[in-house]
C-alpha cells in the first residue's frame, strides 16, 4: 500500500511527504524541554520546518531535471525516513546549512551531462562547494566529485580543470576580505584546521548501531543489482550512475573522518543513498518486498525513539 502510493509523482504525494517531514521534524527536531518556549523559538523552529519541506521540493527538482530516478517519489520518501533515523541532524546547524548549500552544487554537477553552459556550471558548482566548506570544512572533499564529473562527462578541456579551483576560492576570498575589513582575518585560520576523529565508540550504542546496520545491509543489497542495471543502460545514465557511486564514497569518507560523531554527519549520505534506494525499488517487482522494507523503516523510526 505505501509502496504503491509513492510509485507515481502526483500532487498529493508532495502533500503527504510534507506532512511526513513535519512529523519527523517535530519528533526528532523540536526539543522544547531543553529551551524555554517562546514565540521567537516557535518562529525559529517553524522556519526550519519550512526550509526542510522546501528541501524536498528542491530534491525533486534535481532528480527530475537530471533523470536520476523514474517517475516516482521513492527518493524523497527515503530521504525523509533517513532524516527520521538520524534526527540529530536537526541539531547540527553547520552540517544542515552546509548540506543545503551543497544541493546547489550537486544540481550543477549532475547537469554537466548536457553540453550547455559547461564552464558556468563548473564555476557554480565550485562556488557552492567553497561556500558550503565555510560552514563545514570537510565539504571541500566534494571538489573531487566535481573533477570526477568533468572527467566522466568528457568535459576535459584544459580550461575546465582550473575553473573548480577558482570557484572554490571565490567565497573564501570574499570572506577573507570581509574579515580583513573587520580586522578579524585571524578567524579564517579555523577554515584550514581539518579536525577529524576515528573514535566510533558512539556508534556501538543501539540508537546508532541498529540504523547503521540496517542501512548498510540495504545499501549493499541495492548497490549490486542497480549498478549491474546501469551498465546496460544508455551512456548518459551510466555516466550519471558513476557520479552517484563516487558521491556515496566521498560522503562515506566524510562520515568516517567527522570530528563529532553524533549521527548528524550521516546527512552527507542521505542524498545519494535515497537515489540508490529509489532505483533499487524501481527494479523490485514484488510489492510485498517493498512494503516490508518500508515497514522496517517505520518500525526502526519508532524503535530508535524508544531506545
- What is the grid cell recorded at 32? 522544547
Percent of the chain with pLDDT over 90: 54
- pLDDT of amino acid 32: 47
- Tell me the average pLDDT of the chain: 88
Q: Are 171 and 134 in contact (CB under 8 A)?
A: yes
Q: How confident is the model at residue 156 (pLDDT cuts 50, 70, 90)?
A: confident
Count of domains forming the chain:
1
Q: Please state the rounded mean pLDDT for residues 124-140.
A: 95
Range of the domain at 153: 2-306
The pLDDT, as a whole number, for residue 44 is 76
**In this model, does residue 33 exceed pLDDT 90?**
no
Q: Give the tens place of pLDDT for each residue, 186-233.
A: 677 767 788 899 989 999 998 899 999 999 999 999 999 898 888 777
- Give the residue with greater pLDDT, 143 vs 115: 143
Instruction: Give the burial class of 187: count Cβ atoms within 10 A of its Cβ; 0-12 exposed, 13-18 middle, 19 or more buried.
Output: exposed
155 pLDDT tier (thresholds 50, 70, 90): confident
Going by pLDDT thresholds of 50, 70 and 90, the confidence category of residue 267 is very high
pLDDT in tens, 41-98: 778 778 888 888 899 999 999 999 999 998 899 999 999 999 999 988 888 889 999 9
User: Which whole-number Å values give the CA distances from 169 to 112, 132, 250, in the listed order?
Assistant: 21, 12, 20
- For the cut 60, the answer to whether the pLDDT of residue 117 exceeds it is yes
4: pLDDT strictly greater than 70: yes
Distance of CA 165 to the CA centre of its chain: 22
Please give the share of the chain, as a percent, with pLDDT higher than 70: 95
Amino acid at each position: 500500500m505505501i509502496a504503491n502510493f509513492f510509485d507515481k509523482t502526483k500532487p498529493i504525494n508532495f502533500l503527504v511527504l510534507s506532512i511526513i517531514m513535519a512529523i519527523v521534524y517535530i519528533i526528532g527536531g523540536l526539543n522544547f524541554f531543553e529551551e524555554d518556549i517562546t514565540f521567537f523559538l516557535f518562529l525559529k523552529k517553524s522556519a526550519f520546518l519550512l526550509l526542510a519541506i522546501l528541501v524536498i521540493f528542491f530534491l525533486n527538482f534535481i532528480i527530475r531535471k537530471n533523470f536520476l530516478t523514474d517517475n516516482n517519489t521513492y527518493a524523497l520518501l527515503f530521504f525523509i525516513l533517513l532524516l527520521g533515523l538520524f534526527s540529530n541532524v536537526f541539531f547540527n546547524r553547520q552540517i544542515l546549512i552546509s548540506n543545503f548549500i551543497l544541493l546547489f552544487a550537486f544540481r550543477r554537477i549532475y547537469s554537466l551531462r548536457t553540453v550547455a553552459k559547461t564552464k558556468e556550471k563548473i564555476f557554480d558548482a565550485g562556488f557552492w562547494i567553497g561556500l558550503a566548506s565555510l560552514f563545514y570544512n570537510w565539504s571541500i572533499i566534494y571538489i573531487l566529485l566535481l573533477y570526477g564529473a568533468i572527467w566522466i562527462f568528457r568535459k576535459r578541456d584544459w580550461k575546465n580543470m582550473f575553473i573548480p579551483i577558482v570557484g572554490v576560492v571565490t567565497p573564501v576570498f570574499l570572506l577573507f576580505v570581509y574579515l580583513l575589513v573587520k580586522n578579524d582575518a585571524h578567524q579564517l585560520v579555523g577554515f584550514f584546521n581539518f579536525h577529524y576523529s576515528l573514535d566510533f565508540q558512539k556508534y556501538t550504542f543501539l540508537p546508532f548501531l541498529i540504523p547503521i546496520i540496517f542501512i548498510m545491509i540495504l545499501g549493499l543489497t541495492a548497490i549490486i543489482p542497480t549498478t549491474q542495471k546501469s551498465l546496460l543502460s544508455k551512456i548518459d545514465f551510466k555516466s550519471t550512475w558513476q557520479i552517484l557511486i563516487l558521491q556515496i564514497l566521498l560522503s562515506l569518507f566524510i562520515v568516517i573522518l567527522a570530528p563529532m560523531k553524533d549521527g548528524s554527519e550521516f546527512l552527507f549520505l542521505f542524498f545519494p543513498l535515497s537515489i540508490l534506494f529509489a532505483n533499487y525499488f524501481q527494479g523490485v517487482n514484488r510489492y510485498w518486498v517493498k512494503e516490508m522494507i518500508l515497514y522496517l523503516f517505520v518500525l526502526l523510526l519508532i524503535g530508535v525513539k524508544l531506545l
